[in-house]
Amino acid sequence: MSDLTIANSVSDLILGDVQEHLPLEKIPLEGDVLGLGTTTSIDNGELSFLRDGDQQSAIWRCVAHDGSIIRLTPGDGSGHFPYVCFTRDAAALRRPVDLGALGDQDTRPLQNLVAQAIAQGRQLGSLEAAPIYGVRLLAHWHELVITVASKLCMGQQRRNRGIASSEAGTNVANLSLYDMLQHYRLAPQPRGDADDPIRYLGRSMQWDCCGFFDTEPEQGRVTVPQEGAHLHLHGCSTDLAYGGHLHHEHPSTRLERLESLWLYPLSSIKTLGSDLAIESLTYQAGALHFRVSNVGSMDISDVGVAVVIDDLYSSHRYLRIPWLTAGEGEDFTMPLSLTKGRHKISVIADPEQMVIEVSERRANNRMDLDVMAA
Any long-range contacts for 54-60 (C-beta under 8 Å, 24+ apart)?
55/30, 55/31, 56/29, 56/30, 56/31, 57/29, 57/30, 57/31, 57/32, 57/33, 58/29, 59/24, 59/27, 59/29, 59/35, 60/236, 60/240, 60/243
pLDDT at res. 292? 98
Residue 364 DSSP symbol = G
Would you say the pTM of this structure is higher than 0.95?
A: no
**What is d(CA 77, CA 39) in angstroms, rounded to the nearest whole number?**
12
| Residue ranges per structural domain of the chain | 4-271, 273-373
Which fold is adopted by the domain 4-271?
A: 60s Ribosomal Protein L30; Chain: A; (3.30.1330)
For 322, the 3-state DSSP assignment is strand
Q: Which residues of 159-169 are buried (b: 16+ CB within 10 A; e: fewer)?
A: beeeeeeeeee
**What is d(CA 177, CA 4) in angstroms, rounded to the nearest whole number?**
24
Residue 163 DSSP symbol = T
pLDDT in tens, the chain (374 residues): 799 999 999 888 877 656 889 999 899 999 999 999 988 766 678 999 999 987 899 999 998 889 999 999 876 656 789 899 999 999 999 999 999 999 999 999 999 999 999 999 999 999 999 999 999 999 999 999 999 976 554 445 445 555 555 454 444 434 455 566 789 999 999 988 888 889 999 999 999 999 999 999 999 999 999 999 999 999 999 999 999 999 999 999 999 999 999 999 999 999 998 999 999 999 999 999 999 999 999 999 999 999 999 999 888 999 999 999 999 999 999 999 999 999 999 999 999 988 988 888 899 999 999 999 98
Question: Has domain 273-373 been given CATH number 2.60.40.10?
Answer: yes
pLDDT at res. 45? 85
Strand partners of residue 51 = 57
pLDDT at res. 329? 97
Contact, 58 vs 71, CB < 8 A? yes
